[in-house]
């Protein structure tokens, strides 16, 4: 957890002519959100999509699927990521509906420099495929798409 944003910063430094996209959950992003300052200082063309559900998503999903929903230490609080981005000098956007999401994505992808986009999602949204405990990658569980 927390690897996506620093990796995106590294990619942006290595390929400054490209637009770099990072997709992260709110829990993961909070592990290294201070690096917004690095992206701003270096004026990196990094666009971050934060899927905000108020959980440490992958851990919660494991507890749901493999531990009979015995949730422990997975619900989290999150800041206003759009306001946080702006406080660092980056562009910050929030979408609460699918229509707003389309507009936010277009606007953010067409700006120069770092942009942070926050999207509220259903709390118990799962990510697939997932590998069960003790299983190999070829035993992964497929899921249904989250967008119809």
For residue 33, the domain's CATH number is 3.40.50.970
Task: Give the tens place of pLDDT for each residue, 64-74.
Answer: 888 898 988 88
CA atoms of 73 and 83, how far apart (whole Å): 26
- Kindly state the percentage of the chain with pLDDT values over 90: 64
Contacts of 97 (CB under 8 A, 6+ apart): none
For residue 145, being part of any structural domain is answered with no
Does residue 70 sit within a domain?
yes
d(CA 95, CA 22): 17
Number of domains composing the chain: 1
Is the Cβ–Cβ distance between 62 and 134 less than 8 Å?
A: no
**pLDDT at res. 146:** 53
Q: Is residue 111 part of a domain?
A: yes
Residue 147 lies in a domain: no
Question: Mean pLDDT across the chain, nearest whole number?
Answer: 91
- Say whether pTM exceeds 0.95: no
State how far the Cα of 121 lies from the Cα of 81, in Å rounded to an integer. 14
Domain that holds residue 90: 4-139
Per the domain annotation, does 148 fall within a domain? no
How far apart, in whole angstroms, are the C-alpha atoms of residue 5 and residue 34?
A: 10
| pLDDT for the residue numbered 148 | 39
Average pLDDT over residues 113-133: 89
Name the H helices within 15-143: 26-30, 36-41, 57-66, 81-88, 98-109
Residues 81-92, mean pLDDT to the nearest whole number: 98
Residue 146 lies in a domain: no
Domain assignment of residue 87, yes or no: yes
Q: Mean pLDDT, to the nearest integer, of 11-36?
A: 96
In a domain, 128, yes or no: yes
Identify the residue with better confidence: 100 or 127: 100
Q: What angle do CA 146, 27, 116 make, to 5 degrees?
A: 80
* More confident position, 105 or 97: 105
Residue 44: pLDDT over 90: yes
- Report whether pLDDT(139) > 60: yes
Please give the pLDDT value at position 145: 57
């Amino acid at each position: 957890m927390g690897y996506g944003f620093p990796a995106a910063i590294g990619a942006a430094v290595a390929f400054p002519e490209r637009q770099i996209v990072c997709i992260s959950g709110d829990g993961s992003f909070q592990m290294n959100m201070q690096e917004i300052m690095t992206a701003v200082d270096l004026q990196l063309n990094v666009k971050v999509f934060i899927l905000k559900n108020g959980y440490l998503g992958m851990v919660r999903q494991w507890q749901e699927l493999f531990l009979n929903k015995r949730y422990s230490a997975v619900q989290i609080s999150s800041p206003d990521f759009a306001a946080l981005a702006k406080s660092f000098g980056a562009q910050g956007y929030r979408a609460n509906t699918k229509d707003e999401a389309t507009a936010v994505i277009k606007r953010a992808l067409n700006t120069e420099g770092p942009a942070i986009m926050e999207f509220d999602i259903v709390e118990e949204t799962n990510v697939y495929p997932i590998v069960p405990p003790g299983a190999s990658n070829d035993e992964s569980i497929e899921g249904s798409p989250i967008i119809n």
